[in-house]
């Protein structure tokens, strides 16, 4: 961006004080004189610029901006070619990798200048700081890491003030909340933790040996440096950390331990390395409960086989999926499910988000797996988990797995089973707008007036989702248009809040009480007002909603309805 160019010319990472404000270009367009015919300016959207690879960076800038670009693609092609290197213009030749290293070092210099304790009065003054914070690592990954760059990076990562401000601008670990305040951790964050994600081994060596960064320091999303490096497959850094005393079984963080992090990423060589260094194959904790579940969820067969050969317990419980079979079933890994079943895993093991493997496979739409699990004795009416039963799970899926619903019903699934987030399968299908599944369930005896769940009844669920034809069908089946209960109190409130005018008209024409009271919004008029749906407010008033109450509601709406 042109606004950043004016500062780049004043930056020299080789100087003791890298940035000289006196060298800032007074007129940004002076860059055209400096680079003569090599560059030009153009107006671009932020996402069309090179920086646009980071959407958050783009969002921080104007929709359009002045950018400096090469006059023609052949300029870069020539400057980086052997023809230029070996020709009369060799003094202008550029090595792409060297350029990336220099850019990365310049970014670090700008961040140190802006945010180090010595320059605290200038915090946030450099326009270039935003770009530098977001892209210094990506430039370094494309460059040649020399000794000077390594020293500069280690210096930056050891400056607590600069490091903290970098994370405030661009937090790769999401350690700050929306207000920009640091979320408390068990210890002060170290640069070593963040460098562990990058694989910059020489920088890590300096941080440990020169700056005394502790290899087992706790903190961050991944808990410690070893888990961070394991989560992204940085084998060289893992070897370094282990050689410097990193605890291979340290607990904490998103994955619970390094072995689970590496297993989820499918890094077979790293899993082997960690196991050879004494990692506990059955260590519990973290998102997936254990390393085996982490590998199964992502379908990493070789890692799964290695873990099993080292004694991983196929029936261990815990984590998001509760057990190994559920982890493999949700993602549809047929071969791994077959492997687990051959190892004697309990097909009806309970626990986890989906309650059991059958519910997980049903929600994921894996018809073949559903058939396999049923053939192995899975209980079609087993209860538990977010959806309570497999039939509700299949009905609630965004895609609506009609064939699985038919299969489950043919195997004896109770179409009126109550429980789970949606209360029953019919309500789950209704909120998603799966008309064919609703029709199928009703034809099999599902009660259209059954109560329970978040929306309490199917009509409120369908009305909230804006499914006009489905609402019409349900009304034709005798559903109670004034059924009270659920999050919105009744179907009319749900439709009014979401702005579904046609459904509001339909419900009123079928006898919905426009003055019915209940739940969060009190009545339909207040629900429409809260969301700013003026036409629905006017419709409700025209249908007999009390005007005196409307005047009160206008005041409460605080101007949201004109």
Digits of tens for pLDDT over the chain (562 positions)?
Answer: 767 777 787 788 888 777 777 877 777 777 777 777 777 778 776 544 444 445 555 555 555 677 777 777 788 888 888 988 898 888 878 888 999 999 999 999 888 888 865 555 544 457 788 889 999 999 999 998 899 999 999 999 998 888 888 888 888 886 544 455 555 444 447 899 999 999 899 999 999 999 999 999 998 899 999 999 999 999 999 999 999 999 999 999 999 999 999 999 999 999 999 999 999 999 999 999 999 999 999 999 999 999 999 999 999 999 999 999 999 999 999 999 999 999 999 999 999 999 999 999 999 999 999 999 999 999 999 999 999 999 999 999 998 999 999 999 999 999 999 999 999 999 999 999 999 999 999 999 999 999 999 999 999 999 999 999 999 999 999 999 999 999 999 999 999 999 999 999 999 999 999 999 877 788 999 999 999 999 999 999 999 876 545 455 554 555 555 4
Rounded Cα distance between 466 and 451, Å, is: 20
Token reading at 362: 């049903």
pLDDT recorded at residue 402: 97
pLDDT recorded at residue 48: 47
pLDDT recorded at residue 520: 79
140, 101 in Cβ contact below 8 A? yes
532, 560 in Cβ contact below 8 A? yes
Token reading at 197: 């994600």
pLDDT recorded at residue 66: 75
On the 0-12 / 13-18 / 19+ scale of CB atoms within 10 A, 334 is: middle
In 3D, which of 393, 446, 442 has the Cα closest to residue 422? 393
DSSP 528-546: HHHHT-HHHHHHHHHTT--
Phi, psi of 545 (to 5 degrees): -65, 135
Q: Which helix (H) or strand (E) holds 432?
A: helix 425-432
114, 122 in Cβ contact below 8 A? yes
DSSP 262-281: HHHHT-HHHHHHHHHTT--T
Please list, in sequence order, all residues whose beta carbon lies within 8 angstroms of the beta carbon of residue 557, skipping any fewer than 6 positions away: 529, 530, 532
Question: Strand 39-45 relative to strand 64-70: parallel, antiparallel, unpaired?
Answer: antiparallel
Classified by CATH at the fold level, domain 459-562 comes out as 1.25.40
Classify domain 171-312 by CATH number.
1.25.40.20
pLDDT recorded at residue 124: 46
| Owner of token pair 């739409």 | 365
pLDDT recorded at residue 21: 77
Per-residue exposure over 105-124, b if at least 16 CB sit within 10 Å of its own CB, e if not: bbbbbbbbbbbbeebeeeee
Q: Which CATH architecture group holds 314-447?
A: Alpha Horseshoe (1.25)
Residue ranges of domains in the chain: 1-170, 171-312, 314-447, 459-562
Rounded Cα distance between 110 and 115, Å, is: 8
349, 322 in Cβ contact below 8 A? yes
Q: How far is CA 350 from the centre of its chain?
A: 27
12, 107 in Cβ contact below 8 A? no
SS3 83: helix
Rounded Cα distance between 136 and 449, Å, is: 60
Rounded Cα distance between 113 and 92, Å, is: 29
Report in angstroms the alpha-carbon separations of 174 from 167, 168, 194, 493: 8, 9, 12, 38
Rounded Cα distance between 126 and 144, Å, is: 26
CATH topology of 171-312 equal to that of 314-447? Answer: yes
R_g (Cα) of the chain, nearest Å? 31
| Owner of token pair 């087992």 | 216
pLDDT recorded at residue 264: 97
| 496: number of Cβ within 10 Å | 33
On the 0-12 / 13-18 / 19+ scale of CB atoms within 10 A, 550 is: middle
Token reading at 342: 């051959």
378, 369 in Cβ contact below 8 A? no
Rounded Cα distance between 509 and 512, Å, is: 7
Helices marked H in 334-401 — which ranges?
334-342, 357-364, 367-375, 390-396
Rounded Cα distance between 48 and 50, Å, is: 7
pLDDT recorded at residue 4: 75
Token reading at 414: 């109770």
Please list, in sequence order, all residues whose beta carbon lies within 8 angstroms of the beta carbon of residue 126, skipping any fewer than 6 positions away: 7, 19, 110, 113, 114, 132
| 537: number of Cβ within 10 Å | 25
Report in angstroms the alpha-carbon separations of 182 from 155, 164, 176, 214, 365: 22, 9, 5, 20, 41
Q: Is 0.85 topped by the overall pTM? A: yes
| Owner of token pair 């079928």 | 510
Task: Find the angle CA(88)-CA(90)-CA(92) to the nearest 5 degrees.
Answer: 120
Rounded Cα distance between 105 and 348, Å, is: 57
């Amino acid at each position: 961006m042109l606004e950043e160019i004016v500062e780049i010319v004043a930056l020299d990472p080789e100087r003791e004080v890298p940035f000289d404000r006196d060298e800032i270009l007074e007129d940004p367009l002076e860059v055209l004189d400096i680079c003569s015919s090599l560059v030009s300016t153009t107006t671009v959207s932020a996402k069309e610029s090179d920086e646009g690879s980071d959407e958050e960076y783009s969002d921080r800038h104007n929709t359009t901006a002045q950018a400096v670009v090469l006059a023609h693609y052949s300029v870069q092609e020539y400057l980086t070619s052997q023809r230029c290197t070996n020709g009369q213009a060799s003094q202008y030749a550029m090595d792409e990798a060297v350029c990336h290293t220099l850019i990365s070092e310049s970014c670090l210099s700008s961040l140190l200048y802006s945010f180090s304790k010595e320059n605290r009065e200038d915090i946030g003054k450099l326009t270039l700081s935003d770009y530098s914070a977001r892209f210094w690592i990506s430039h370094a990954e494309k460059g040649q890491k020399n000794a000077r760059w390594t020293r500069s990076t280690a210096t930056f990562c050891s400056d607590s003030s600069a490091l903290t401000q970098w994370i405030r601008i661009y937090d790769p670990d999401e350690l700050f909340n929306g207000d920009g305040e640091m979320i408390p951790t068990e210890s002060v964050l170290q640069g070593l933790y963040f460098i562990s994600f990058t694989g910059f081994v020489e920088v890590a060596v300096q941080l440990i040996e020169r700056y005394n960064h502790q290899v087992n320091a706790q903190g961050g999303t991944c808990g410690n440096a070893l888990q961070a490096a394991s989560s992204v497959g940085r084998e060289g850094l893992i070897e370094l950390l282990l050689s410097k005393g990193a605890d291979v079984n340290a607990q904490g963080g998103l994955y619970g331990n390094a072995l689970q992090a590496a297993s989820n990423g499918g890094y077979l060589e790293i899993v082997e390395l960690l196991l050879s260094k004494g990692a506990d194959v059955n260590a519990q904790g973290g998102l997936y409960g254990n390393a085996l579940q982490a590998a199964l969820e992502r379908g990493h067969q070789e890692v799964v086989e290695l873990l099993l050969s080292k004694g991983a317990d196929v029936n261990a419980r815990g984590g998001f999926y509760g057990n190994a079979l559920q982890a493999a079933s949700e993602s549809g890994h047929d071969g791994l499910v077959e492997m687990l079943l051959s190892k004697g895993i309990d097909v009806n093991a309970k626990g986890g988000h989906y309650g059991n493997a059958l519910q997980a496979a049903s929600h994921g739409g894996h018809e073949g797996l559903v058939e396999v699990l049923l053939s192995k004795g899975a209980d079609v009416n087993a209860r538990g988990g977010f959806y309570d039963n497999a039939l509700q799970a299949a009905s609630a899926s965004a895609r609506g797995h009609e064939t699985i619903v038919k299969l489950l019903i043919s195997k004896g699934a109770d179409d009126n089973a109550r429980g789970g987030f949606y209360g029953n399968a019919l309500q789950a299908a209704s909120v998603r707008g799966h008309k064919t599944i609703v029709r199928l369930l009703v034809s099999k005896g599902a009660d259209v007036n059954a109560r329970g769940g978040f929306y309490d009844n199917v009509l409120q669920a369908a009305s909230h989702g804006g499914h006009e034809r489905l609402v019409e069908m349900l009304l034709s089946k005798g559903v109670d248009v004034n059924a009270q209960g659920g999050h919105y109190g009744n179907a009319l409130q749900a439709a009014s809040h979401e702005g579904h005018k046609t459904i509001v008209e339909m419900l009123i024409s079928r006898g919905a009480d426009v003055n019915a009271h209940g739940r969060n919004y009190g009545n339909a008029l207040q629900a429409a007002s809260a969301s700013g749906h003026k036409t629905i407010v006017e419709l409700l008033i025209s249908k007999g909603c009390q005007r005196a109450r409307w005047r009160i509601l206008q005041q409460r709406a605080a101007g949201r309805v004109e």
